[in-house]
Amino acid sequence: MVKVFRGLLWLFLGLYVQLLWAETGVEKGYENVAPVQPVELAGKVEVIEFFWYGCPHCFSFEPVLNEWVKKQGDQINYIRVPAVFSKRWGRHAKAYFTAQALDVSEQLHADFFNAIQVKKQRLETEDQLVKFFVAHGVNEQDFRNAYHSFLVDAKMRQAQSMGPRYGVTSVPTIIINGKYRSNASIAGGQSNLLGVMDQLVAVESAP
């Protein structure tokens, strides 16, 4: 009787664990965001990428992700969000938001990654960033005005709060439609991550 009871106990425990996995989606390569976060645009599947310029995994994932984004066409709203987990990460985030305020983020994004990851440049202080932006055709005073603007400060505050709200603990991390969170560790590799993203976008695009 005791053996039967133990056997049933382990069976129910196993079923319970499977149920938990099914609810969280971990075995499928994603986790649920709780609570679900609002999206920026209705009618499109929102895809947020949390990244850091100092992260080599983000750097290697960037060209692959860019190709994936192009293939999605108009069905997604792709948003980059620099993660802010420390003061150093915050300096790089501020550089990204400054470029965004100057409407040059798309032109400078890849070069900024390359400068840090390949050329090993330290682009953290205002003076270091001035040199980089000016070398890319940005007026020095325009850079300084944007760098110290209310808009950039507001975006920094928003980025600092977004990581915890979405449950982001590492980068690169992808959020689909404010509901699902995945990364290479959860999905089992970058190639698997792209497959998970395809599946979740398809689910969220379904009528």
Domains and CATH numbers, the chain: 31-195 (3.40.30.10)
Residue 16 structure tokens: 């319970």
Distance CA 7, CA 89 (A): 51
* pTM for the structure as a whole: 0.86
Q: For residue 159, is pLDDT > 60?
A: yes
The per-residue pLDDT for 144 is: 98
The per-residue pLDDT for 3 is: 46
Angle at 129 between CA 54 and CA 104, to 5 degrees: 85
Pairing relationship of beta strands 31-32 and 45-51 according to DSSP bridges: unpaired
The per-residue pLDDT for 11 is: 39
Digit-coded pLDDT (tens) for 97-136: 999 999 999 999 999 999 999 999 999 999 999 999 999 9
Q: For residue 25, is pLDDT > 90?
A: no
Distance CA 22, CA 26 (A): 7
Q: For residue 18, is pLDDT > 80?
A: no
Higher pLDDT, 12 or 188: 188
